[in-house]
Structure 1
Amino acid sequence: MNAHVATLVARLQEQPSHTGSLVLTLMGDAIMPRGGSVALSTILDLCAGLDIGPGVVRTAVSRLAADGWLVAERQSRASFYAIGPDRRGEYVRAARHIFGPARHPQVDRMTLILLDPGDSRESVRHRLTRLGFVAWQNVMIAPERPLPPSVAASVLAVTAQANAATLPRLAARAWRLESLAGHYGGFIETFGPIARAAPELEPRDAILTRTLLIHDYRRIMLRDPRLPTAFLPPGWIGDGARHLCATLYAALRPASELWLDREAITRAGGLPPPDSSLAHRFADVAL
């Protein structure tokens, strides 16, 4: 194992267990573009490379299946797991958020939803949160965007314009960007040193590194509201982290896909070729 990869694996072992999250990363990143199904033995093999024991992996996979994230199939004595059909939309949305460009990057106005402090319609608040709104002093705010008719009919929405200095300050407080910046800084510190070695990694090291890369980036990105440029401070560190992740991903992809071609097992034998979505990941990043 490459020394940089060994350092990443050792770092993983120092953290609280996130085996279920790692399996979700593997399925969403590597397996979904190739049909969404793979043998348990393949998952066990990859997790063994991360020093995660088979008992821990089996327990995590069983829990994911119980929650609908995966569905199990049996063939003789072998087990195969596929992305759960009821959860596939969530995998797709997460992939779009992680790998795709920010929506409406040039927006410089806000939509404000005025809430009644006594309003208990949690379903409305929940839907607004899913649409990218954040609560701020009895108001829910987001970069300007059209609302679905069902939401628009039940809330009072106004559009506001802030000057170029005020908008980033408000966004930093409302979306807690300082904490998010700290996570991005840690990501750069962790994965920056492997950038030069990445193109030369052996296929097994490449798929392990790719899994850890997207595992860490995914956990940060799912907290990131992907705000338009006008809402962000100058020199936003998230842009540097995204460029690093895209660069590493491009460098790791050929060898990691070769490992999947050679080693991953499905009910039909090997994995099918990846669909077109794989080639479009990080397409907005100039490498």
Structure 2
Amino acid sequence: MNAHVAALVIRLQEQPSHTGSLIMTLMGDAIMPRGGAVALSTILDLCAGLDIGSGVVRTAVSRLAADGWLLASRQSRASFYEIGPARRGEFVRAARHIFGPSRRPHVEQLSLILLEAGEAREALRNRLTRLGFVAWQGVMIAPERPLPPSVAANVLAVTATATDDTIMRLATKAWRLEGLAALYADFIETFRPIADIAGGFTPRDAMLARTLLIHDYRRIMLRDPRLPVAFLPSPWIGADARRLCAAIYAGLRLASEQWLDANALIQCGNLPPADSSLGHRFADLR
């Protein structure tokens, strides 16, 4: 094993167990573009390279299946898992959030909504949360967007521009951008050493490094609201982390796909070729 990959594996072992999350990363990043199904033996093989025991993996896979994230099947004595049909849309949305550009990047106004007391308050709060609003000191805020008429008729809403320093401070606090920036800084420090050498990894090392890269990046990105540029500190370290991740991913992609070609199994043999979604990842940075 490459020394840099070995260091990443040691770092993983020093963290609290996230085996279920790691398997979700594998399924969403590597397996979904290639049909969404894979043999348990393939998952066990990859996790063994990350020093995760088979019993821990089997327990994590069983829990994911119980929660509907994975669907199990058997052929003779072999077990296979595919992304649960009811959960596939969530994998697709997560991939768009992780690998795609931010949406509505040029919005410069913030919507602030004050919820009045009443029986409908909690229902409105929950609906606004689903629409992308966050709560801060009794106010719901989000980059400006049209509200459904049924919501707009029942709330008091105002807008403010990002040029107002008070609004910028509000965005920083509400979305906890300082903590998010610290996570991105740690990501950069961890993975920068492999940026220039990723293209020379063996297929197995490339697959291990790719899984760890996206596992770490995914965990940060699922906390990141991908705010429009106007509401972010300048310069924004999240943009640097995204460029680094894209560069390393490009370097690892060919060899890691070769590992999948040779080692990842489904019920009728090897995985099918990747669909077009794989080639579109980080496409806006190329």
Normalising to structure 2: TM-score of the pair?
Answer: 0.96
| Corresponding residue number in structure 2 for 1:214 | 214
Equivalent pair of 1:116/1:138 in contact (CA under 8 Å): no
Which letter does structure 1 place at the counterpart of 2:3? A
When structure 1 is superposed on structure 2, of 59-68 and 111-120 the one drifting more is: 111-120
Spell out the pairing of 1:16-55 with structure 2 (5 A cutoff). 16-55=16-55
CA distance in 2, matches of 1:31, 1:199: 21
Q: How many residues align?
A: 286
When residues 121 and 88 of structure 1 are mapped into structure 2, their CA distance, relative to the original with a 3 A threshold, is farther
When residues 109 and 119 of structure 1 are mapped into structure 2, their CA distance, relative to the original with a 3 A threshold, is farther
Which letter does structure 2 place at the counterpart of 1:140? M
User: 4+ residue runs of structure 1 moved beyond 4 angstroms?
Assistant: 117-121
Spell out the pairing of 1:149-160 with structure 2 (5 A cutoff). 149-160=149-160
When residues 209 and 117 of structure 1 are mapped into structure 2, their CA distance, relative to the original with a 3 A threshold, is farther
| Corresponding residue number in structure 2 for 1:238 | 238
CA shift at 1:159, angstroms?
Answer: 2.5
When residues 101 and 162 of structure 1 are mapped into structure 2, their CA distance, relative to the original with a 3 A threshold, is closer
Which letter does structure 2 place at the counterpart of 1:31? I
Normalising to structure 1: TM-score of the pair?
Answer: 0.95
When residues 150 and 32 of structure 1 are mapped into structure 2, their CA distance, relative to the original with a 3 A threshold, is farther
CA shift at 1:25, angstroms?
Answer: 0.2
RMSD: 1.5
| Corresponding residue number in structure 2 for 1:59 | 59
In the TM superposition, what whole-angstrom CA distance separates every residue of 1:14-69 from its partner, at most 9, and x where no partner exists?
01100000000000000001110000000000000000000000000000000000
CA shift at 1:163, angstroms?
Answer: 1.9
| Corresponding residue number in structure 2 for 1:274 | 274
Structure 2: where are the runs of 5+ without partners?
none
CA distance in 2, matches of 1:166, 1:108: 14
| Corresponding residue number in structure 2 for 1:263 | 263
| Corresponding residue number in structure 1 for 2:188 | 188
| Corresponding residue number in structure 2 for 1:80 | 80
Equivalent pair of 2:115/2:121 in contact (CA under 8 Å): no
Which letter does structure 1 place at the counterpart of 2:5? V
- Which one has a larger percent helix, Structure 1 or Structure 2? 2
When residues 254 and 170 of structure 1 are mapped into structure 2, their CA distance, relative to the original with a 3 A threshold, is same
Equivalent pair of 2:107/2:230 in contact (CA under 8 Å): yes
Structure 1: where are the runs of 5+ without partners?
none
CA shift at 1:228, angstroms?
Answer: 0.6
CA shift at 1:145, angstroms?
Answer: 1.2
CA shift at 1:168, angstroms?
Answer: 2.7
